[in-house]
Amino acid sequence: MTEIKQKKDLIVTEIILKQETEFNDGAKPFDIFRTENTKEGGIIDSLNDKFFRRIQKMNFYGVGKYSTDLSTIVENDIVVDDTKKIIVIQINKPEINSVEITDIEVFTPDKGWFVINDAEISLYESSELYISIMESMREELMVEEYYRIAEEDVANAIYEIFSLLLNTIDSEFNHYDIRIKIK
């Protein structure tokens, strides 16, 4: 370990996510008849699919969280103007804090005519699938609309915290306008 850094994350927004996926681990015995000139999606693929497909569909549900690190607020980030009765607080943009898979829904496999057993996934394939789903969920969180919602939520949360704190310290601050700016 090289360093321990203390953070004071304020989780401000949670987005519920859903990723649908499917995989086909069916055999493809008709591929032995495939040549360089065989069209993809042609008769060979049709035969493999009809007789030997083994498709497993799954839905992954998760939660993506945005937070802002309150430990980054420094003295210069809080400006008090007593003449205008305004307090301006600057905070960093919220960032994606975490992505968690909360549930997995597995559907009945879609099997071809000659398939008896269910689809199987190896440990390696399972971890690759998990990594892929996590990356897809993280990409979904990078949508500008979600960042805008998180910025509004962090501004509202900081406003509520500071207004409660200031009003508790001194009732004089009841008359101050508190403004939140995102850096």
- Looking at residue 61, its pLDDT comes to 94
Contact 58/151 with Cβ under 8 angstroms?
no
Domain boundaries, the chain: 9-19+59-107+119-182
Tell me the C-alpha to C-alpha distance, in Å, between residue 83 and each of 32, 80, 86, 141, 165: 85, 9, 8, 42, 21
CA dist., res. 51 & res. 13, Å (int): 47
Tens-place pLDDT, residues 75-87: 999 999 989 989 9
Q: Can you tell me the distance from the alpha carbon of 119 to that of 109, in angstroms, rounded to the nearest whole number? A: 7
Banded pLDDT at 168 (limits 50, 70, 90): confident
pTM over 0.75: no
Question: Per residue in 2-21, is it b (16+ CB within 10 Å) or e — as a string?
Answer: eeeeeeebbbbbebebebee
Q: In this structure, what DSSP letter does residue 143 have?
A: -
Quote the pLDDT of residue 115: 52
- List pLDDT tens digits, range 35-53: 444 455 555 455 555 555 6
Give the pLDDT mean for 144-171: 88
Confidence of residue 97 (pLDDT cuts 50, 70, 90): very high
Task: Tell me the pLDDT band of 126, cut-offs 50, 70 and 90.
Answer: confident
Mean pLDDT, to the nearest integer, of 48-73?
80
